[in-house]
Every structure is written in structure tokens, then in C-alpha cells.
Structure 1
Amino acid sequence: MASGLINANPVVYERKERQVRSVPTIIDEDAEELIDQQEIFDYIRDIQDPEHPYTLEELKVVTEDSIEVNDKKSHVSVTFTPTVEHCSLATTIGLCLHVKLMRSLPSRYKVDIRVAPGTHATEAAVNKQLNDKERVVAALENPNLMYMIDRCLEPAFYY
């Protein structure tokens, strides 16, 4: 590996055009807005890959179809697909997704992040780390890891 990258030449896909969301004409301040699949995708699509200058959408690490939302049960599940089966940054990507959704969603939501079945060599271990509340809290106390996550969550501007 002369470049030092885990996946030196990832496949880059075209970004999906953003859909315009309709705005209700009457706003009921007491009613909570329903969260849907498209809204979750809009939150996470622009997260930067920790290894490449591309978004998770451009690398097809996340897609709109990989998101499940149960608004009545306040539950969101995101399944992501690493670009290579031995990606050492899979847990970091999962933490980026988790942090972005924690910062974006109302606190009533439970978020589950998982690696797509059969797409990572240590899938079970990564899933266990990402969905163990104590492990996630401990990871987010690491300043170096939080620096990397914050860099991945910085907004990118597309022209």
C-alpha cells in the first residue's frame, strides 16, 4: 500500500439531487413534526468519509433505502456499507452517523447503526461496539476521535 489508504481507489457515485420538501401551510405549534426516511438521509448524506474527500452518499456507504424510521416508536435504524470488507474505519463511520443523528434528532429517538450483513470482516464486533451505549459514550470521550468525527461532520459546499 504505497498510498497508505485502506481503499486507495474507491468507486465514486453521482450525488442524488436533493428533493424539495413541502412546507405545511398551517403550522400547529403543539404538533410534533414526523421524521421520515428522506429527512434522516438528508441529515447523514453529507458526512465526509474519514479517509477520502467524498461524502458517505458519494461512496454509497449510506443510501436512502438503508434507513428505517418508526416515528411512533421513536426509533431510527441506519445500515451502512463500508467500501471494503476490511475497513478499519467502519466503527468511526458508524460513530459519525450516530453523533450526527444525536445532534439532529429530538432526544426521544433511539438510534441503531449497523454494518450491512456480509459487508465487513468483523461485522459482529463493529455492530456490538456501535450499539452498546457505554462503549459509544466512552468512545466519544476520546478527544482525538471526537476531532476526527467533527471533521467528518463539517459541512462541505457543493457548487
Structure 2
Amino acid sequence: MTLGLINANPVVHAKKERVVRTEDSHTDDALNLTELHIRDPEHPYSLEQLSVLSEESITVDEKLGRILITFTPTIQHCSMVTVIGLCLREKLKDHFPPHFKVDIKVAPGSHANEESVNKQLNDKERVSAALENPHLRQLVDECLYSSEL
């Protein structure tokens, strides 16, 4: 057990096997999670393994240029919820053109500060300011580019 973790013993789910996408299937309504590879900020598991993120929680509308991601923190008082949202936002920059409108939200009722977290994650100025913080930037980069997954 690691000291200092809010959720020291999360439930870990097996990775799902998926069909590899082809260029022709890029217009599917869901982003393939195997393309994301995001590690949880507190644990050596992916967001998918912790059921924080699922394919069903990602909607991509290429015609309208909109993406909606709804994720579920492992506990109601997760202190890393904004870091997870920042990771999702940053990772999507690698997969979609900049004209896409991205909305990232916590699932209804899944976090004690749901409204303020959603507001923070979808405010461009707040996101930009957070990513200028060297500590937060390092944490986001570790989650996105970790080779442990």
C-alpha cells in the first residue's frame, strides 16, 4: 500500500480487447481508448483499467467538430480529478485538429465538486494557466508519456 493516496486500493479491471481501426472506420462515434494510453496520476494503471474512462463515455461528432468526454473518478473526493481532465484535453490535441470543440466533464453525481470541476476543465484560460504550472505540467506529461502501461 502506498502512503498518502486518497484511494490506496482502487478496483482494477482487465484491459478490453478491441478491433484495430482502419482509416475507413475513423468516422466512428467513439474514440478508441487504445489510442489514448493515459496513466492514472496516482496509480500505475490506465484510466481504462480503473474504469475512469470507457469507450461509451466518449462521443466524437466529426461532422460538427465536437468531442464530449464524460469520465468517472474512482472516489467522490478525488483530488486528481482536474489533472485527469487536463490529461484528456492534452491527449486529444494529438488526435484531432485544433478546430474541434472539446467538452470534458465528470459524470453526474461522481464527484463532490462536480460543477466547479466541469467549469474549470472547460475554461480555456484556467486550462492554459494550469498547464503553465511546472509541477502540473510534469504530472500531466508523466501520465501521458509513461511507458509503464
With structure 2 as the length reference, what TM-score do the two structures score?
Answer: 0.91
Deviation at 1:38, TM superposition (A): 4.0
Within 5 A, what are the aligned runs for 1:138-153?
138-153=129-144
Q: In the alignment, which residue of structure 1 is the partner of 2:83? A: 92
**Identity of paired residues, percent?**
54
Within 5 A, what are the aligned runs for 1:93-132?
93-132=84-123
Q: Which residue of 22, 33, 39 corresponds with 1:41? A: 33
Determine the C-alpha separation between the residues in 2 that align with 1:91 and 1:114. Answer: 10
Structure 1: gaps of 5 or more residues = 25-32
Determine the C-alpha separation between the residues in 1 that align with 2:8 and 2:35. Answer: 27
One-letter amino acid of the counterpart of residue 119, structure 2:
K
Q: In the alignment, which residue of structure 2 is the partner of 1:11? A: 11
One-letter amino acid of the counterpart of residue 4, structure 1:
G
SS in 2 for 1:19: coil
User: Radius of gyration: which is bigger?
Assistant: 1
> Structure 1 residues 92, 40: CA separation in 2 closer, same or farther (over 3 Å shift)?
same
Determine the C-alpha separation between the residues in 2 that align with 1:120 and 1:62. Answer: 14
SS in 2 for 1:113: strand
SS in 2 for 1:104: coil
Number of matched pairs? 149
Instruction: State the Cα deviation string for residues 89-111 of structure 1 (Å, max 9, x = none).
Output: 00000000000002321112111
Deviation at 1:22, TM superposition (A): 3.3
One-letter amino acid of the counterpart of residue 36, structure 1:
D
> Structure 1 residues 20, 88: CA separation in 2 closer, same or farther (over 3 Å shift)?
same
> Structure 1 residues 155, 2: CA separation in 2 closer, same or farther (over 3 Å shift)?
closer
> Structure 1 residues 2, 140: CA separation in 2 closer, same or farther (over 3 Å shift)?
closer
Q: In the alignment, which residue of structure 1 is the partner of 2:73? A: 82
- 4+ aligned runs moved over 6 Å, structure 1: none
Q: In the alignment, which residue of structure 2 is the partner of 1:66? A: 57
Within 5 A, what are the aligned runs for 1:18-37?
18-24=18-24, 34-37=26-29
> Structure 1 residues 76, 94: CA separation in 2 closer, same or farther (over 3 Å shift)?
same
One-letter amino acid of the counterpart of residue 73, structure 1:
L
Deviation at 1:34, TM superposition (A): 4.6
Q: In the alignment, which residue of structure 2 is the partner of 1:28? A: none
